[in-house]
Amino acid sequence: MIRLEIQSDFEDAESLIRSAVCSEIKRLEIGLGRTDREIRKFEDKYGISSDMFVREYAAEDLDGGDDEYVSWMGEIRIRRRIAEELNRLKETEYVTQRISA
């Protein structure tokens, strides 16, 4: 978990930081949606889940060979990374201490 300690003489510092984090969460959710759509295209085309693809398939098993294998595997890795970042940001704890100017 991220614990964000904010010390500021600016009254709305926490609100400003929360807003920035919220914007990043929305950006990541959009990216996750795009990645999910790309992964679904591969899953629909081959009629298998991405989990099965990772466990059992090689580039020569795909119509598009290396290009398709790299693309599908790349989308899976991107999805994992985005999901991890999203989870961390969504679990962020904010602690604010107002300091005198």
- Contact present, 53 and 69 (Cβ < 8 Å): no
What is this structure's pTM? 0.82
pLDDT tens per residue across span 48-84: 999 999 999 887 888 888 899 999 999 999 999 999 9
pLDDT tens per residue across span 13-56: 889 999 999 999 999 999 999 999 999 999 999 999 999 999 99
Coil/strand/helix, residue 55: helix
pLDDT above 70 as % of the chain: 99
pLDDT at residue 101, as a whole number:
61
Separation between Cα atoms, residue 93 and residue 85, nearest integer Å: 15
